[in-house]
Amino acid sequence: MTEITLTHLITQLIHYTFWADERILDACAGLAADDLTRPLVPNPGWGSLRGILVHALDAEAGWRAVLQGQDAAFLLAETDFDDVGSLREHWAAERDAWLAFAAGLNDEQLNQTTGVVHDQGMAAWQVILHIVNHGSQHRAEAAAILTGYGRSPGELDFDVYLFELSGRNQTTGN
């Protein structure tokens, strides 16, 4: 088994998160505005598919700001995003910001506590792991909704990401 550094692991998880986000956005392409904003019953907490996506994007942006010592008091609003294209554009900028941030991290920085997260002083790697997990929850909600609309994003599992990254065929392993 290959040993890896904490930095490599966390960077891999950040890349995975944005890969999975992109698959959700791809499944949303061409979705009617009414489907994007349709009130959900039962409501998972964000009102609509757009609400779920904006919440997930807002969390990724807000936590990155916290980790970088920036003002994280902003909140993205559902109404800031008229369509999937505007969400995709903002998410691409957030992905680029995350990847630039991650490129400068090392194990020592990842083990430092932020001191501002729920007054618990979570280590940076713990905050990032929370972001990855949080995104998985909301992507699963979005995927279920999209599947109901006949637009499944397909598998979002980490192993699928790894197969795609390696260029191998998941079914055959070649």
Q: What is the pLDDT of residue 8?
A: 94
Residue 168 phi/psi, 5° resolution?
-85, 155
Other beta carbons within 10 angstroms of residue 24's beta carbon come to: 27
pTM of the model: 0.90
pLDDT at 61: 96
| Count of domains for the chain | 1
Residue 173 lies in a domain: no
In a domain, 128, yes or no: yes
pLDDT values of the chain reduced to their tens digit, one per residue, 174 residues: 568 899 999 999 999 999 999 999 999 998 998 999 999 888 888 999 999 999 999 999 999 998 998 888 888 999 999 999 999 999 999 999 999 999 999 999 999 887 665 556 789 999 999 999 999 999 999 999 999 999 999 999 999 999 999 886 655 554
According to the model, what pLDDT value does residue 3 have?
82
Please report whether residue 21 resides in a domain: yes
Domain that holds residue 161: 6-166
Is the residue at 89 inside a domain? yes
Residue that the structure tokens 């550094």 belong to: 5
Distance CA 65, CA 96 (A): 13
Q: Specify if 172 maps to a domain.
A: no
Output the pLDDT for position 1.
56
Q: Is 121 left (phi over 0), alpha (psi -120 to 50) or beta?
A: left
* CATH code of the domain in which 16 resides: 1.20.120.450
Q: What's the confidence (pLDDT) of residue 45?
A: 84
pLDDT of residue 171: 54
- Phi and psi at residue 113, to the nearest 5°: -85, 150
- Supply the pLDDT for residue 51: 96
Q: Which two tokens stand for residue 40?
A: 């959900």
Q: Is residue 174 part of a domain?
A: no
57 lies in some domain: yes
Q: What is the pLDDT of residue 119?
A: 55
171 in any annotated domain: no
